[in-house]
Amino acid sequence: MDRRAARDDRVRLRRHRPGAGVLDGRRGAGRAERAAPGGAGGDLLPWPVGGRDREDAGHPARHGEVPHLLRTAGAETRIGGAGDGAVNGCTDVRNALGSYVLGSLDAAERSRAEAHLADCPACRDELAGLAGLPAMLGRVDESQLEQLAGPPPELLDGLLARAAERRRRPWAPGRRFTRWAPLAAAACLLLAIGALFGGFLLPLGTEETAAPPASSAPPAAPPAAPGGDVERIAAANPATDIKGYVLLRKKQWGTEVELHLSGVPKGSHCRMLVIARDGRRDALGSWYVPYDEGYGEYRGSTMFPRGQLFSFEIVGLDGQPLLTIPT
């Protein structure tokens, strides 16, 4: 009798000691509640678990409970697939919007960005805020850039040191997509510094890749774009023998513009202005024509929709008109 009484006493003590009935106390689950418990517990179990009565509680991941409170605490082993992919997609596109507006993305990257922008209103709003970037850069001439001091020499050293430190860290599965992030960020920053302190905006073509026609003939027409979403408008100036055309692409945030010129005197500094039907003017950018043949290309964008465009004016830095392309 004494041993039975002692055993009963131990059972009673074990049942009533603190933490004995908590799932996270590693003593196992209690019985399922018949209905939502009162007080704070009702926030964790808003309905009977699985609709069952007086059965053991099921796995917490299947009933909408708060996992941090109903199961043993521990680090998450992975990130949700759909949510993580959506965030990364927006992040990648938003990081490339500046290059997209300035026309420096290649065809494949541009197609991926436009496919994402078609279905993402948030990224389209972000892009609309950058539509005036080419015009702002176009208002900065070489004399202003020459007054700026160059980047401090310790900037590159600091970036490379941080990137090397990151690479020396032990590799972990979760860092698979972030190992090269510091190097990519350093490269992007250096490119931005080069554009800022370089003193000029480079044209789209290069001396090696461009195939400039003779100055006496207009530039050759580009191949037709798929879907007919590109509008081509050409013009010529008999007084200067300058010929050119623009390719216009309608965008939700404005209009994308691609200019092709021939017959421009070597060494000319050109500026491109867009004139709206209500008289407003937008400076798309400026560039230097170094080629003997006087052929140049420039790509930019304007906040004006296609229906508001009146004309494009290409002028020298002295304001002398070189070519007007009415729309």
pLDDT digits (tens, 9 = 90+) for 275-288: 999 999 888 777 76
153-168 vs 181-197: helix crossing angle, rounded to 10: 170
CA distance readout (Å), 222 to 87, 111, 172, 231, 284: 37, 18, 48, 11, 22
Structure-block tokens of residue 167: 């690479």
> How many whole angstroms separate alpha carbon 298 and alpha carbon 287?
8
Q: CATH number, domain at 246?
A: 2.60.40
Strand order of the sheet with strand 281-288?
281-288, 269-276, 309-316, 321-326
Same domain, 120 and 136: no
Residue 219 inside a domain? The answer is: no
Whole-number pLDDT of residue 309: 93
Same domain, 257 and 317: yes
Same domain, 230 and 305: yes
Residues 266, 171: contact at Cβ < 8 Å?
Answer: no
Angle at 295 between CA 293 and CA 300, to 5 degrees: 165
Same domain, 244 and 287: yes
Residue 206 inside a domain? The answer is: no
Residue 77 inside a domain? The answer is: no
Whole-number pLDDT of residue 214: 36
Residue 104 inside a domain? The answer is: yes
Same domain, 91 and 40: no
121-128 vs 81-102: helix crossing angle, rounded to 10: 20
- For tokens 């990130």, name the residue: 79
Same domain, 45 and 113: no
Residue 49 inside a domain? The answer is: yes
Angle at 159 between CA 154 and CA 163, to 5 degrees: 145
Same domain, 89 and 21: no
Same domain, 29 and 65: yes
pLDDT digits (tens, 9 = 90+) for 226-249: 345 889 999 999 988 899 999 999
Whole-number pLDDT of residue 7: 62
Residue 118 inside a domain? The answer is: yes
Same domain, 39 and 113: no
The domain total for the chain is 4
Whole-number pLDDT of residue 11: 53
Whether pLDDT at 203 is above 60: no
| pLDDT range class, residue 291, cuts 50, 70, 90 | low
Query: Is the pTM higher than 0.85?
Result: no
Residues 171, 179: contact at Cβ < 8 Å?
Answer: yes
Same domain, 191 and 251: no
Residue 220 inside a domain? The answer is: no
Percent of the chain, pLDDT > 70?
A: 43
Residue-number span of the structural domain to which 141 is assigned: 131-199
Same domain, 174 and 142: yes
> How many whole angstroms separate alpha carbon 136 and alpha carbon 95?
19
Whole-number pLDDT of residue 266: 75
Same domain, 138 and 184: yes
